Structure formats: C-alpha cells, structure tokens
Structure 1
Amino acid sequence: MKEIELSAGTIAYEDTGEGPTLVLLHGLMMDASLWADVIADLSADHRCVAPTLPLGAHRQAMQADADLSLTGIARLAAEFLERLDLHDVTLVGNDTGGALVQLLMRDGDARVGRVVLASCDAFDNFPPGLTGKTLVLAGKLSPRMFGLFMQQMRIRMLRRSPLAFGWLTLRGDAATARWLRPVLTQPAIRRDAVRTLRAAAAGGAGSLLAAAEHLPGFDRRALVVWASGDRVMPPEHGRRLAGLLPRGELVEVDDSYTLIPLDRPARLAQLIREFTRASDAS
C-alpha cells in the first residue's frame, strides 16, 4: 500500500496496473481490500487506484479538525484525485462508496469521466438497513463504549447477523472480520469512527437527497450494477438511479448481497471492463 498526505491526514491506497484509470471507493467500516478480487482481475488492463478512506477501518487516525461527514469525505476523495493528477477517471462506488460517488457527481468533478454505482446508499436510504441504523445508533456512544459494543463483532454468529454484516455479503466474512481490527485495537480509530457516524447521522440523508436532484444533469456515461437480492439497498433504487441518469444503464446481478465486490467479483469486473471498453469506443 502507498500513502499520501492529504488535508485531513494520511491516506493509504493501492495503485496497480496500467490502462484506463479506475478509482474504487468503499463503504463504512470497510477498507480498500473490498476491491481486492476485482482489482486482481481488472489490473491486467486497467490502472486500479483504491484509497482507504476514513470510514472506520482505516489504519492512521485523521487530524482532530478533519471534516468526517459524508460531504467532507467526498471532498477528500476529490482532493485525492487532484493530488494524484488523475484524469478521465472511471469512479466506482459500492455501499457508502456509491454515496460518495453521487456527491462527486453533484459537484461536477471534471476529473470524473464516467461512473459505476454498485448497490449503494441512495435517496432517503440512509442509514441503510438494519446494519446502518445499528451503526449510527452505536455511534452515539462514547468512543470507549463504542469499542466495547464493537467487541461483540469478534463472534462470527453476531458478525453474520442482519444487525452487522449478515445482509451485506453472502461470502465475505473473512474480509469483514479483518475490517474490524482497527476499531477494535486503536483508540484513535474509534474516535474517528464515532465522529464519522455522528456526522453521517446528522447530514447523510439530506446530502444524498440533494445529490439525487443533480443526477439528471450528469451528462457522462453511468453504469448502475445492483444485486437483485439486495436486502439493504432496495433494487428499486438501482432502477430509479439508472432512470434519472441521462446516459445511465442498469445491470442486475444475482447470487449476491450488497457487497458485490466480495460476492461476485468476477461478474463485476466483467461488467466494468465492458463498460470502459464501450466508453473508449464511443
């Protein structure tokens, strides 16, 4: 993993492969390894850049005055694109990462050439599902008590429950256990996580609803990939997003929950590759 110093603090990121540039964004309580299997496939003919954003599974704490709201983290992602001098990027987001993509679409970031939204927070679905609502409620605790609450997630049965990751992924339990380590072992990361969750609770839904109003003005190509059996991100939202985007197209994926990069990485990589090739040809 490489590192870059941004205004909010040090961000770790993976940067591998050559070809059209993909920037892949993860969700709350996750890190860049969400995309590991997708990157292993796509890096054969794409440059794959995946930052670990300060969403609760990062390894280095952010500065005390860092804006850890969804809008603030979206601005951090835009700063990341600028600092790496990335252009004509295919911006890919899953789960809360897709919410960040929508905020960058709203802001009209010129470095973004096209987007992929994969089973993500949208419209009024924030915090999403039992998992999101449980996290936001837990975020009201002090960092110490939040850490004690999260210690329960060491138990696989609880980690696989609908209150945790059980409705987010069919096959990715090893990854979810790994993502919990920083918040379980580092007090500074627990403080960041609580700040993020409180800020998200205060303004997340409003930010997404405002972003949705700008989607019809996004004039670049967009691919919406949705898990047809998603129990956290309503499939109707995927159809609605694709319908709002002037150049949007929808593909539904079976045998997957929200975290398609974990459950169906080969299928997602295939769809992204076909999308970027079609963009190059158009």
Structure 2
Amino acid sequence: MGTSTSLGRMHEVDLPGGRIRYHDTGAGAPVVFVHGLLVNADLWRKVVPAIAAAGYRCLTPDLPLGSHSIPVPDADLTPTGVADLIAAFLQQLDLTDVTIVANDTGGAITQVLLTRKPDRIGRVVLASVDSYEGFLPQPFTALPLLARIPGSIRPLTEAMRIRALHRLPLAFGWVAKRPVPPEIADSYLLPSRNSAAIRKDLRRFLKSVHRRYTLEAAAHFPSIEIPVLIAWAREDKIFPVSFAERLAEDLPNATLRLIDDSYTFLPEDQPELLTETILEFTRLHATP
C-alpha cells in the first residue's frame, strides 16, 4: 500500500511476473529500501526524508510480501524469485552503484540477491535481519507450515482486526518496541485482510520460506567484496546479536553497529540513529 507522503511520489513498474508500486524521492546516488514480511514501504517513512535530504535518491518498492496492493499471481514468490524481482527492479530503472537497505525478512532476500545478482549493488545495509538458521525465526517458524493448509491465512488476518492483539509476539509485539500507529498498522494489515488474491500471494511466499535459502547464501559470503553494514538492535527479541556477530565475521567487508532502545523494526523504533548510521556508512564507502 505504501501510503506515506514522506516517501515521495508513487509510481508503478512492470517486472517479470507482475507489476509493483514504488515511491521515489530525492536526487543523487540511489538507495533502495527493502522491507520484510507483512509490511510495505511505509516501514521507511521516518528514514527516507533525512536520507533524501542528505543528497540521495530514495526508492521504496512495495514488494509482494503480503502488504502489497497489486496481486502478482504469475510472479515467482520463492525467496530467490523475490530476490530476482528486486534485481529486475534495479535493471528496469537502470539503477547502478545502489545502496540496498534491508530489514527483517527483506534482509534474507537481500542476502540471496547479493549472492545471485550483485552487479548493480555498491553497498548493503542489513538492519536486524533473518539469516542462517533463523529464516523464519521464532515465534514465526510455524507460518510456513500453516500456509500449507488451505484457508489458513484468512483467520489470522481477521484476528488482526483486534488492535489489542497487535502487541502480541506474533503480531508487532516483538518486532516494534513502541506501538505501531493505527494508520500504519492498517497499511500493513488491510491488503491481506481485504483481498483473497493478496492472501494467495502471501501464502505462496510463506510456503516457500526455508532456511536452506539463507544457509545457501551464507555459503557464498566469503566471495562477497561489497561493503556491508550490519546495523542491529541490541535488544532484538527475535534476531540475537550473535547472528549479527556471525554475519560480521563471515562477510569479508562488514562493519557491525549495535543500536540501543529498539527491537527488530529499527526504522520504526530508532529512525534517527539508523539514518545516522546509514549516512556515515554510505559516505565512508562512497564511489570516488
């Protein structure tokens, strides 16, 4: 849905398998923001304005991960398929020397992208992400199994009508330290609640999620020369800091930064600190 005006104008682009929406604002070297499961471009609404103001072009696609508004029945929604969709997005818009900033499930997909089609990518920020054996992590490990049962997603999306449930671990309780504003929660949850076609896309992605994708990507880490910033929530409840340390060790050109007073949704809980960390990293690794 990506409705936030701070993200810039909304556009649509046709990619192999379907059409996606994206926001575009600012001018300069491109930064592409990759969200995770059951959220959309709105996740980045507090980060994009400051990055754009610092002289970057910020692009925030709504990926088909359950909070998108255009169904993509013909798209490959496996983790490799979604990674290839991002690669096609970069190619279609002719973006080069791109900084990819990813959070949560988007980080797992970015690791797959990085080890499959890295040629347009200049640097990467992994901000509290799925990795290694943690794709999907607790308490979300049952979702891929649940998705195999026909009709199983609808009751979940209906239950989320109850705002009080948003603070539960299976909703936003363990990913956002502070309550997600109601209009943003609606932007995330209404697409799958209102559209059977969107639920079908979500099911297809969930059914394919497996740690073999992140473990396979990790096997290729030693050959990745691209600079990677690992920005991690020190208090993360679902991605332990030990995963961040492991990524920092396995990626040859990695920097680790821990961010205080936040859970997984760093762009929601600590947008200013995350923005500062991203800008410091992009300046340090700017292409001469």
C-alpha distance in 1 between matches for 2:212 and 2:145: 18
CA deviation after TM superposition for structure 1 residue 9, in Å:
0.8
Q: Deviations over 1:147-200 (max 9, x none)?
A: 122211121222210122210011252233420000001111111111111111
Tell me the equivalent position of 1:276. 282
Query: 1:179 and 2:185 equivalent?
Result: no
Structure ranking higher in helix proportion: 1
Tell me the equivalent position of 1:53. 63
The change in CA–CA distance for 1:82 and 1:281 in structure 2 (over 3 A counts) is closer
C-alpha distance in 2 between matches for 1:237 and 1:18: 34
Query: Which 10-residue stretch deviates more, 230-239 or 133-142?
Result: 133-142
CA RMSD of aligned residues (A): 1.4
Whether the 8 Å contact between 1:172 and 1:262 is mirrored in structure 2 is: no
How many residues were matched structurally? 276
The change in CA–CA distance for 1:281 and 1:71 in structure 2 (over 3 A counts) is closer
Tell me the equivalent position of 1:20. 29
Whether the 8 Å contact between 2:191 and 2:198 is mirrored in structure 1 is: yes
Whether the 8 Å contact between 1:142 and 1:194 is mirrored in structure 2 is: no
**TM-score scaled to structure 2, two decimals?**
0.92
CA deviation after TM superposition for structure 1 residue 34, in Å:
0.6
**TM-score scaled to structure 1, two decimals?**
0.94
Structure 2: unaligned runs, 5 residues or longer: 1-9
Tell me the equivalent position of 2:198. 189
Tell me the equivalent position of 1:43. 52
Tell me the equivalent position of 2:4. none
Structure 1 residue runs of 4 or more that deviate by more than 3 Å after TM superposition: none
Query: 1:127 and 2:139 equivalent?
Result: no
Q: Deviations over 1:28-77 (max 9, x none)?
A: 111011111100111112110111110000001003x3211111100101
Whether the 8 Å contact between 1:22 and 1:89 is mirrored in structure 2 is: yes
**Residues 149-228 of structure 1 mapped to structure 2, 5 A cutoff:** 149-174=156-181, 175-200=184-209, 204-228=210-234
Tell me the equivalent position of 1:264. 270
Structure 1: unaligned runs, 5 residues or longer: none
